[in-house]
Amino acid sequence: MPHRLTGKHALVTGGATGIGYAIAQTLLQQGVRVSISGRNEANLQSAVETLRAYGEVQSVTMDVSQSASVLAGFTQARAGFGEIDILINNAGQASSAPFLKTSEEQWQTLISVNLSGSFFCAQQALPAMVERGWGRIVNVASTAGLKGYAYVAAYCAAKHGVIGLTRSLALEVASKGVTVNAVCPGYTETDIVKQAISNIMQKTGRTEEQARAELAAGNPQKRLIQPQEVADAVLWLCQPASQSQTGQAIAIAGGEVMS
C-alpha cells in the first residue's frame, strides 16, 4: 500500500527521538509531509537534518501540556504545510514513585503531558478533518493504559485516560470519515526505557544486562519492542484501507496484553 498517503500532512508530537522519530521517518517514506514537534529546539533541528533525506519535513517548537503553545505550534505547522490530515499524539513523559510518595507536581506533570496534550492537539486538528471528511488520529499510549504497573500510578492513570479519550472521540466522529485509535507499546527501546534501566542499576546494583532483562521479562517474547515496530502499526492505522479500524487500543507487546 505504498504512497497512498502522498501529499497528506502529518503532525507528530515528540517527533525528534524514539518512537516519534521512527513514525516521522516511516510517514515521510510514504510521501507524507511531516511536521515534528517538541520542546527542545536543538533536538528538533538535528532530527530535521536527518529526516530531510526521506521527504518534506519541518519542525515546530511546542509544549503539548500548554494549550497556548499548542495553538501557536499548530498555526506554525499549518503555515508551512497546510491543514493537518494525520495527527500522531506521541509526546509523553514517564517517572516512577511509590503511590504515597507521588507528589502533586509529579501527578499534574504526567497528566498534563500524556493526557491533556493529546486533548489539546486533537482539538486543534479535528475541525479541518471533519470539514474535509477524512482524518487520522493515532494516540501513542502504552500497555500501562491497558493494565496496571506498580510504582507508576500517575503514568498508568494518564495512559488509561488516553485510551478513554480515544474510544470516546472515535465514536463521536465515526460517521465523519475520521478514525481515532491508540497503539500501546510495551517496554520499547527508547530514551525513557534507557532511563528506567539506569534507575534500576542505581537502585539495585544490577548490571545493565540484568536491568534490561528485568524490563523485558514481562514480554512473553523476552525482548524489548523496537520503535520501528510501533511505527509500522501506526502507518497501517493511517492508511485509507484501515478505515474500519477506530476506537481500538492495539497492544504492541509480544503477547503481554491480549484482547
Residues carrying an active site annotation: 155
Instruction: State the Cα–Cα distance between residues 202 and 96, nearest whole angstrom.
Output: 14
